[in-house]
Amino acid sequence: MKILFVCLGNICRSPTAEGVFRALAGREAPQLALSADSAGTADYHVGAPPDRRTQQAALRRGYDLSALRARQLERADFGRFDLLLAMDESNLADLRSLAPAGAQARLALLLQYAPDAGRLDVPDPYYGTARDFDLVVELVERGARGLLKALAAQSSRRVSAGGVAADGE
């Protein structure tokens, strides 16, 4: 399963989602074959590392995003990834309008996987305060955990549909 997290600039929200999801998947669901990447719908920050405030907020929760670099979404991404997860409704609308006809990738909002969060958008923190950047990490963690749960459930349904017993016999 290949997942692409998408926001506007790819320097705040979607790199946070990529880093958090990778860390949680490696720690909590190493049995699942998952890969994650992120991209922005805009080209403003191509090649740049995550925003300093984003990196600081992520580090406060134990995630190092320093190796990531921004890139712009490409139409080929709709064929390369199984699931494209937008950070807000505006990003999702952009994805819908950019998707090539017949693209198979599923498009959704990250927070659709976190119904308890009580909201669907991860708000753009770019013109906000440190608290807004902390909120991004908190919401992204909720979404990433919910997503992992859904993927683990899907994977175990597949295993049982294939007739393989839970104990491997």
User: Where on the chain is the footprint of ligand 4NP (CB under 6 A)?
Assistant: 7-13, 40, 44, 124, 126
Active-site residues, by number, are 7, 13, 124
Nearest residue to ligand 4NP, using CB? 9
- For residues 37 and 81, is the Cβ–Cβ distance under 8 A? yes
Nearer to ligand 4NP, 15 or 151 (CB): 15
User: Torsion over CA of 129, 134, 137 and 139, rounded to 10 degrees?
Assistant: -90
Nearer to ligand 4NP, 105 or 140 (CB): 140
Nearer to ligand 4NP, 16 or 113 (CB): 16
Q: How far is the CB of 8 from ligand 4NP (least distance, A)?
A: 3
- For residues 155 and 123, is the Cβ–Cβ distance under 8 A? no
Q: How far is the CB of 6 from ligand 4NP (least distance, A)?
A: 9
Nearer to ligand 4NP, 44 or 106 (CB): 44
Q: Kindly report the CA angle at 131 between 27 and 89, in degrees rounded to 5?
A: 75
Q: How far is the CB of 130 from ligand 4NP (least distance, A)?
A: 15
CA 23 to each of CA 49, 57, 104: distance values in angstroms, whole numbers, following the listed order:
18, 15, 27
Q: How far is the CB of 42 from ligand 4NP (least distance, A)?
A: 7
- Taking alpha carbons only, the member of 52, 34, 63, 29 closest to residue 138 is 63
Beta partners for residue 109, in sequence order: 86
